[in-house]
Structure 1
Amino acid sequence: MLSTDLSAYTLSHETEAIDYRTPMKFGGRVVTGVSLFTVQCDAQTHSGARAVGAGSMTMGNAWAWPSQQLDSQQTLAAVLRLAEKIVEDAADSPETGHPLDVCLALAGRRASLAAEVERELDLPESIPELAILMAAAPLEAALFDAHGKALRTSSYQLLGADCLPNDLGVYLGADFKGLRLDQFVSAQPQASLPLYHLVGALDPLTAGEVLDPVGDGLPEHLAEWIERDGLTHLKIKLAGDDLDWDVERVRAVSRTADASSRGTTADWAFSLDFNERCENAEYVLEMLDRVEAGDARALQRVQYIEQPTHRDLKSHPENTMHRVAERLPVVIDESLIDLDSLLLARQQGYSGVALKACKGHAEALLMGAVAQHLNMYLCVQDLTCVGMSLLHSASLAAHIPTVAAIESNGRQYCPAGNDAYRDRFPGMFDVSGGRVPTRLLDGPGLGY
């Protein structure tokens, strides 16, 4: 054991429900609120250093578990119960070592914990692996954060051989032997990053589309958000099963950008998110062709495409993305649950990876290293994260070298969840110039 290793910890957790100020529609589902699960970790290292850290994550069950047999309240209850059991298990039978090794050891016990929840709640289906990863994410963040705070050092600076002796071959197999995690993680955060603003399927683009104003002083439509926050990066949620609507939506967003004070010459960047609703790659290709035919500039602004078809890659081997990837980077999101899924996606033509803190800090670090080693396109996305969970997501993005932007959707839909952190991290939640000052996330632990 190293003196820097975790030797003991105690855990506690809490849940908070937050209502959205306005509904969000994605993947054919409408979401009106979120539950935030937070874990506190009082940790000690072998050297006797001690500190309290924390991790938090929005439990996005509509994204992680789009069940056909259970309603959203039932899947949320199961995810929250699993999150509780994961914390209780880690507290009752703690592991020791570097947080990465601790998290991976604990991960080996999650399947049995999920099975217990399934029996306890008499569920008619298994809890998906993506939902299991999400339920464990707050604990993983708390362990990494407490470890770094105990050592008074950024967690991203504790990934070298002096603190983490194993190379990546131990975690990822022989193809990665000799590679070290700190080769793929920056010790210091990027000073700032552009912010991708979400354009949900229900979001009005202009004043004329606002039918039911929220009236809370925040922007009511995309044009106002662009002006207030100086936005340049827009993530557009698409239907995936309505070609005419999708084509017009991309064009309309581009027209709204052109009409802003930044105008047509600004360096606009779009991403297109289908949330796995497309039947096949042909749908995506036709949509791109039609957007280009009607507004070539709109298509030129698209930086990447996210998860066009079903997340279950093994069951849908016909949905290859090679032809789409010849035109634009295509990244997996819902499909990414482990190394095997990443390699299968690459084999099927995906050229990029979307990392998310909600899948666990350990998983994000390892998959980020794999993607960089394989020269894949990388982005970091959030799960309508608020407060601590957004700061975690932003710190992750700021320390992965090839990531060029971050997401922050919570400020749009549930800004009340950010209130406790606004003064401590000015500019992270109230955006200026279209960028967020990730240099603020340079403190010990995960930076918040």
Structure 2
Amino acid sequence: MGKQSDIEILGVDVSTQDVPFRAPLKFGGRVVDGSENINAEVTVRTRSGKEATGFGSMPLGNVWAWPSKSVEPDQTAEAMRSIAQRVGAVANDQSELAHPLDHGIAIQKTFPTIGKEIGAAMGIEEEVPMLAILVAASSIDAAIHDAFGKANEINSFNGLSAEFMNHDLSHYLSEEFAGEYLDQYTLREPKETMPLYHLVGALDPLTEADIEKPIKDGRPETLGEWIEADGLTHLKIKLSGEDLPWDVDRVVAIDRIAEETQGRLGREHWFYSLDFNEKCEGVHYVLNFLQQIEQLAPRGLERIQYIEQPTHRDLKKHPIPMHEAAKIKPVVIDESLLDFESLLLAREIGYSGVALKACKGHTESLLLAAAAQKYGMFLCVQDLTCPGASFLHSAELAARIPTVAAIEGNGRQYCPAGNAGWKERFPSMFEIEDGTVGTYALGGVGLGH
């Protein structure tokens, strides 16, 4: 028997919004100098007759979600726009009354067919990656969860108990989760504040000598300026994974600048995360890297909080063991994490943590967050250079999962124009002074913003 809080979907509207960049971002050998958001509005009605419209927004992210050697970026972007529209149509056709989690799972079942149909219609010979479909659909999934909360006049994270859900977690994951619900793995109120992970991209200037063309827009341009202006305590460092001397030198240089700047600020503790963007040949590269960092910057090694996705995203074709590296630092999957099956495979080959991303879908993120906590894995939440509403959504996810210690957010660095309107409504999330964001502001109805 269904719940009075269950929703039926009445209408779906999907649109796009260009987001200009102030500076290019380089990761995994690829450079991004502009973006666009996929925005979605979903109108729902509860079983008791209450209606509401939810909103979701997420960067298209095709360069990250669909890095192809045979399909040009403009074509992958066009395909992902088409996928978003098709997923919107599928969502619009959902006739049953259900919890948003069940709507999300039902819609996901159509993803393989949608990918094949869009690929064939566009004459794309390679298979459309599931990651690209998840990203294209994520704003719609978010809007459904947002609308559910608004229609029931609750924060959506407080609609995850047996009072609202029609199935326990064994229905979505495995029998290990029998009798458990998502409220056991989420918080009823967002954390008051969270440290912000600032991105140091491969092209980002560390010192004034590195600046080839000053932007002169009043924002910091060097790493030291960013640390001082925003009081940063967490730095995410993009590395090559293919050039060991460069990677080592980069981290040593960043650690030296951080030492100097943090020393002036009177700080003793700060942290790094390292992202190889799946470019390492194997675990030996990571081990050699860590060994050299220990020799050249031993305190820098201590500051490393975790290592992200060192090797190929396809774990089935490239099951490269990570056990030895994970003994030194948590090693998390990012691009590889698509579903519960991929999480289990990652654990089997030695990964000790997972990176959640709202761009893979709110439904999937909630389920994987529960599984990761159940298995005692390290958890972090990252964004996709998310501006505005997409960053707030990502931050709310991080603020509601107990074991997540920090939130990544680099939209303010690369595309601050996308924060217009949202910055004024949520100043604590966009005006950074002490290295933290005020996630206390994200406790409203729906997804909190």
Tell me the TM-score range normalised by the shorter chain: over 0.9
Rounded Cα–Cα distance in structure 2 between residues aligned with 1:436 and 1:43: 31
Number of the residue aligned with 1:444: 445
Rounded Cα–Cα distance in structure 1 between residues aligned with 2:52 and 2:94: 20
Rounded Cα–Cα distance in structure 1 between residues aligned with 2:288 and 2:169: 40
Rounded Cα–Cα distance in structure 2 between residues aligned with 1:7 and 1:199: 43
TM-score (structure 1 length as normaliser): 0.98
Rounded Cα–Cα distance in structure 2 between residues aligned with 1:212 and 1:430: 26
Verify the 8 A CA contact 1:240 1:308 in the aligned structure 2: yes
Number of the residue aligned with 1:231: 232
Name the SS for the 2:36 alignment partner.
strand
User: Paired residue for 1:300, among 299, 302, 307?
Assistant: 302
Verify the 8 A CA contact 2:56 2:141 in the aligned structure 1: yes
Rounded Cα–Cα distance in structure 2 between residues aligned with 1:231 and 1:419: 22
**Are 1:329 and 2:315 matched, yes or no?**
no
Number of the residue aligned with 2:107: 106
Number of the residue aligned with 1:313: 315
Rounded Cα–Cα distance in structure 2 between residues aligned with 1:20 and 1:256: 25
Aligned residue identity for 2:298: A
Verify the 8 A CA contact 1:23 1:32 in the aligned structure 2: yes
Aligned residue identity for 2:348: Q
Name the SS for the 1:42 alignment partner.
strand
Number of the residue aligned with 2:10: 9
Verify the 8 A CA contact 1:95 1:105 in the aligned structure 2: no
- CA offsets per residue over residues 351-405 of structure 1, 9 Å max, x none? 0000000000000000000000000000000000011100000000000000000
- CA offsets per residue over residues 380-431 of structure 1, 9 Å max, x none? 0000001110000000000000000001111100000001101110121121
Aligned residue identity for 1:267: H
Rounded Cα–Cα distance in structure 2 between residues aligned with 1:430 and 1:269: 21
Rounded Cα–Cα distance in structure 2 between residues aligned with 1:30 and 1:406: 23
Verify the 8 A CA contact 1:380 1:406 in the aligned structure 2: yes
Number of the residue aligned with 1:383: 384
Number of the residue aligned with 1:357: 358
In structure 2, relative to structure 1, the CA distance for the partners of 1:95 and 1:240 (3 Å cut) is farther
Question: Unpaired segments of 5 or more residues in structure 1?
Answer: none
Number of the residue aligned with 2:251: 250
Rounded Cα–Cα distance in structure 2 between residues aligned with 1:192 and 1:365: 20
Verify the 8 A CA contact 1:95 1:106 in the aligned structure 2: no
Number of the residue aligned with 2:185: 184
Number of the residue aligned with 1:82: 83
**Are 1:288 and 2:290 matched, yes or no?**
yes
Verify the 8 A CA contact 2:290 2:301 in the aligned structure 1: yes
Verify the 8 A CA contact 2:283 2:325 in the aligned structure 1: yes
Aligned residue identity for 2:270: W
Aligned residue identity for 2:241: G
- CA offsets per residue over residues 48-103 of structure 1, 9 Å max, x none? 11211100000111111111101111111111110111002211344430000111
Number of the residue aligned with 1:424: 425
Name the stretch that deviates more: 163-172 or 275-284: 163-172
Number of the residue aligned with 1:275: 277
Q: How many residues matched?
A: 447
Name the SS for the 1:259 alignment partner.
helix
Name the SS for the 2:430 alignment partner.
coil
Rounded Cα–Cα distance in structure 2 between residues aligned with 1:262 and 1:443: 38
Number of the residue aligned with 2:412: 411
Cα RMSD (Å): 1.1
Name the SS for the 2:384 alignment partner.
coil
- CA offsets per residue over residues 265-293 of structure 1, 9 Å max, x none? 52110000000000010000000000110
Aligned residue identity for 2:312: H
Name the SS for the 2:214 alignment partner.
coil
Rounded Cα–Cα distance in structure 2 between residues aligned with 1:14 and 1:265: 45
Verify the 8 A CA contact 2:428 2:439 in the aligned structure 1: no
Residue 262 of structure 1 and its aligned partner are, at CA, apart by: 4.2
Number of the residue aligned with 1:135: 136
* Aligned positions of 1:31-50 closer than 5 A: 31-50=32-51
Name the stretch that deviates more: 95-104 or 301-310: 95-104
Verify the 8 A CA contact 2:201 2:238 in the aligned structure 1: yes
Question: Unpaired segments of 5 or more residues in structure 2?
Answer: none
Number of the residue aligned with 2:161: 160
Structure 1 runs, 4 residues or longer, greater than 4 Å off = 261-265
Number of the residue aligned with 1:170: 171
Verify the 8 A CA contact 1:104 1:362 in the aligned structure 2: yes
Verify the 8 A CA contact 2:197 2:236 in the aligned structure 1: yes
Rounded Cα–Cα distance in structure 2 between residues aligned with 1:207 and 1:127: 42
Verify the 8 A CA contact 1:188 1:442 in the aligned structure 2: yes
Number of the residue aligned with 1:345: 346
Rounded Cα–Cα distance in structure 2 between residues aligned with 1:178 and 1:149: 27
Aligned residue identity for 1:257: A
Name the SS for the 2:180 alignment partner.
coil
Rounded Cα–Cα distance in structure 2 between residues aligned with 1:54 and 1:262: 43
Residue 9 of structure 1 and its aligned partner are, at CA, apart by: 2.2
Name the SS for the 2:424 alignment partner.
coil
**Are 1:199 and 2:200 matched, yes or no?**
yes
Residue 7 of structure 1 and its aligned partner are, at CA, apart by: 2.6
Rounded Cα–Cα distance in structure 2 between residues aligned with 1:431 and 1:193: 11
Verify the 8 A CA contact 2:358 2:393 in the aligned structure 1: yes
Rounded Cα–Cα distance in structure 2 between residues aligned with 1:156 and 1:218: 35
Residue 175 of structure 1 and its aligned partner are, at CA, apart by: 2.1
Rounded Cα–Cα distance in structure 1 between residues aligned with 2:399 and 2:159: 16
Residue 113 of structure 1 and its aligned partner are, at CA, apart by: 1.4
In structure 2, relative to structure 1, the CA distance for the partners of 1:139 and 1:112 (3 Å cut) is same
**Are 1:59 and 2:60 matched, yes or no?**
yes
TM-score (structure 2 length as normaliser): 0.98
Rounded Cα–Cα distance in structure 2 between residues aligned with 1:3 and 1:95: 13
In structure 2, relative to structure 1, the CA distance for the partners of 1:249 and 1:95 (3 Å cut) is farther
